[in-house]
Structure 1
């Protein structure tokens, strides 16, 4: 699915917190939204994914001007995912059952996706009793298993240890296969380097730089990015 955001803004209590002149997301790519805290990246993700709405502007999804035509093709994992009061396995498969997939397809996808993250010992535990990192693994699997045309992920690995972060990143890369698209928020520059095809950097509700990963990380043009990379000793990524 191709998504275009044009002349769109978001206001809270009469104050503009987000203003996007133009953004294009093409199918088959992983886009990473970055920026300092409060830069508007999560708000942008929520508005594009349909969890919230722009105050004004236009968003098109494969030339449809309403998300209602494509909502079934979109999946979202929030920064603080909501898990249902049931087992881990039930949480992971609930979306497929809701969409009335056959038992054969559900079983096939379980076998495909559970190999990415080690959750075998968690499958029959209540999902709400898990640690933060464990809950993120469940939420990520629940999202990935849907195989939607577009997947939105907001800080999906924030509470994970490095081993599970790397495992999760392999899973995330599969989500942009077969012309599917991933739009992901992260604060981790190294994670962006590992999984992004395209980076969009935001500040104060606006896009200040965007481009292919290599160009943005190695040859930033905006002074804020140059300063951030200098302060973090990041160069020649």
Structure 2
């Protein structure tokens, strides 16, 4: 799915928090939304995914306005996802049942996705008994298993350990194969470098730099982004010194 934003704006309580002249998401890629706290990364994701509305502007999905056909082609994982009071496996396949997949198709999807994480011992457990990291795995699997054209992920690995994060990143990259795309909100520049094709850096609700990930992250043009990446390099150097 190709998505195009033209002159979009978002306000809260009369205060403008997001203003973007133009932004394009093309099918078949992973896009990482980066920025400091308060840059409105999540606001942008929620508006583009249809969870919230811009107060003005145009958003086109394959050159059409948002409608039922768009909803069926979109899936969203929020940073604090809601899990139903039932078993892990029921939560994972709930979206497939809602979309009226038959039993054979559901079983096929289960076999493809459940092994992305080592959660065989959790499948019959109630989600209320899970840790935060386990809940995040279930939520990501519930989203990925739908195989929608466009997937929106808001900090999907924030509560995962390193091993699970790397497994999740492998899954995220797989979710953008073919004509499918992923828009990922993350605070982790290294994660963006590992999984994204393109990065979009926001500051105070505006895009200050965007483009192919290697260009933006290795040769940033905007002063703020250069400062942030330089501080990260210095932290890595200090960390290496500390461990020697």
User: Could you state the TM-score of these two structures normalised by the residue count of structure 2?
Assistant: 0.95
CA contact (8 A) 2:50 2:66 kept: no
Alpha-carbon distance in structure 2 between the residues aligned to 1:202 and 1:185: 11
Is the alpha carbon distance of 1:186 and 1:175 closer, same or farther for their aligned partners in structure 2, counting shifts above 3 Å?
same
Unaligned runs of 5+ in 2: 236-244
Superposition pairs of residues 95-134 of structure 1, within 5 angstroms = 95-134=95-134
Moved over 3 A (4+): none
Alpha-carbon distance in structure 2 between the residues aligned to 1:29 and 1:71: 19
Match of 1:69?
69
Unaligned runs of 5+ in 1: none
The count of corresponding residues between Structure 1 and Structure 2 is: 235
Alpha-carbon distance in structure 2 between the residues aligned to 1:83 and 1:178: 29
SS at the partner of 2:120? coil
Alpha-carbon distance in structure 2 between the residues aligned to 1:3 and 1:177: 17
Structure with the higher helix share, 1 or 2: 2
Superposition pairs of residues 65-214 of structure 1, within 5 angstroms = 65-214=65-214
Shift of 1:234: 7.0
Shift of 1:66: 2.2
Cα-to-partner distance string for 1:39-81 (whole Å, 9 max, x where unaligned): 0100000000011010111100001122433111000000001
Alpha-carbon distance in structure 2 between the residues aligned to 1:234 and 1:160: 25
Alpha-carbon distance in structure 2 between the residues aligned to 1:75 and 1:125: 24
Match of 1:17?
17
User: Could you state the TM-score of these two structures normalised by the residue count of structure 1?
Assistant: 0.97
